[in-house]
Structure 1
């Protein structure tokens, strides 16, 4: 769900854009980079990440040293929820992305960032895609949500509303928070795979934290270049799935077309505010 340089599968890719992971091609330095990233997130996330995410790490045995071999990973993932991970050469067209999700296939880059990119990488790598996303796919409810999202994405292509649906993915799958055991926990892949944002999203006074509302989320633009200025908090994964399945998106897209988009820091009178952010971080970054 971004701009794509390629309009057809590159040489060596299948018609559905998948490629071999080529696990044997990873260097010792590649595996060491994964281990560094994994170790610091494993230390940071207990008590902060959603139980479903932490449970997924255990079910999939991602603590095993080195970059996971997709073949071994898929044996465990498919047994848990019927999903599998497939390697792709980079960002894929939207219809390809949605079709894979609709058929319980999660596309993942097979490269890993350089050592000087530990804290930020613009294009998702194997750590973001596998560590960040795949543990949640071992949860049956979230796994169903992701399939429903893919099916909805394919339908959205006929309504010209892809930008609106992309916001739902961004503010849930990538940067979502969930109420859990009297507190708020992380589950979005962009947060749990980021050493800095996994603290910022919960602890920093700067961002707004707003109770999830489907229409509100789909009106809200997002940041692709820095930490988010707003995070939306779902009540449960069951409720997120229910809303996605029960909502008739055709009239929703019609309503959204008549409403102005909201900026990432905007608040509405009807928002259920969990935390009113100071927006200090974003202001300082803009001024700097």
Structure 2
């Protein structure tokens, strides 16, 4: 395939991906205040962790704790928040399409072994990112409960929609990306950069580093989200270390069998 054909193929696949995201954004814009069967609206999903807080921990604008809404202080705040949420949902909903386009552009240049490896890493990485995002969403309420009640005797927090969405999105991205750490460890082991022996020797330092990373990476710096991220990463990295252990043992056994089955070279006898 010539360079011009590569450029045309890239442009075509990029157009399909962008069109899918645009259509997903339109669906997300409608979904923002409409429930789909048993699936709540995007607005309800967004405000769920915030509205689950005690009434005294948030600004309530209605009787009996039924007035849980985010604050908008500008004329465009409501529209911009809805657009941001819709665009994020559109990118997620359209992910199978734009990932397929990306894979279709890359895969012709890969060998069969590389295709299988890439497929495994992409599938595992996607699953780990989703698990991290789900954990982040579950942690948001506890993190907010700490942050919004630490001085509730003196203040009450009226969260703006943009600030709240930025916090939730940051937690989701940080948790999702952090959950890819064990996959990176396994990948480095597969290319012989990190051995199990080295990882086992560094285990204590890795644990300290994960806690330090969680303290720096989590927005807000609350101990709830920091501990949840750090402890989960420790478990996942330990699983990755054990996977590296199995891989290194398998390589050692293969090398031992190869050494036993390889015949020694026959040397010619020296002439007198």
TM-score by length of 2: 0.27
Q: RCO greater where, 1 or 2, for CA within 8 Å and sep 6 or more?
A: 2
Higher helix share: 2
Which is greater in Rg? Answer: 2
Higher strand share: 1
TM-score by length of 1: 0.26
